[in-house]
Copies of this chain bind each other. A is one copy, B any other.
Amino acid sequence: MKQKLSLVTLGVADLAAARLFYEDVLGLVPAAETNESVAFYDMGGAWLGLFGWEALAVDAQVAPEGSGFRGVTLAHNEPSREAVDVLFAELRERGVEIKKEPEEVFWGGYSGYFVDPNGHLWEVAYNPFMDLT
């Protein structure tokens, strides 16, 4: 299997509301393939998809019920501590729910977390050891 993550799909309760968050609040530009039932964003290698929570469960043939921690976090890296702070300031101003204010972390980086309207956790990090920006 080629070492390639093509797409991460997040289940959402309301696609229009989720698009408002990702496009109007975070500023992402949807891909041309976006339609009424699914939104796609080219995230610089892997793509991000937003799809109905129930529909995603149906597609995977699993039960849609779930609660609590999902054991998955998505990370967006920035090139400096300052850039992380600037982004968090913007997120806070736009009413995004901050889960963890950015701080120095045990592995030597600097990071914080926000959560999207459907409970999906995003880390924003500066990593001095790996440039994944």
Q: Which residues on A are within 8 Å of B, measured CB to CB?
A: 1-12, 26-29, 31, 33, 38, 40-48, 53, 56-57, 59-77, 87, 90, 99-100, 105, 107, 113, 118-121, 123, 125, 129-130, 132-133
Contacts and interface: CB of A to CB of B under 8 A. Distances in A.
Given A63-B69, A64-B69, A76 B43 contact: no
A77 B133 contact: no
B61 A3 contact: no
Given A59-B105, A70-B71, A121-B62, A76 B133 contact: no
Contacts of A66: 66-71
26 contacts: A1-B28, A2-B44, A2-B76, A3-B29, A3-B44, A4-B45, A5-B76, A6-B76, A6-B125, A7-B77, A7-B125, A8-B73, A8-B75, A9-B74, A31-B130, A33-B129, A43-B45, A47-B130, A56-B73, A60-B100, A60-B121, A60-B123, A61-B99, A62-B121, A63-B68, A67-B68
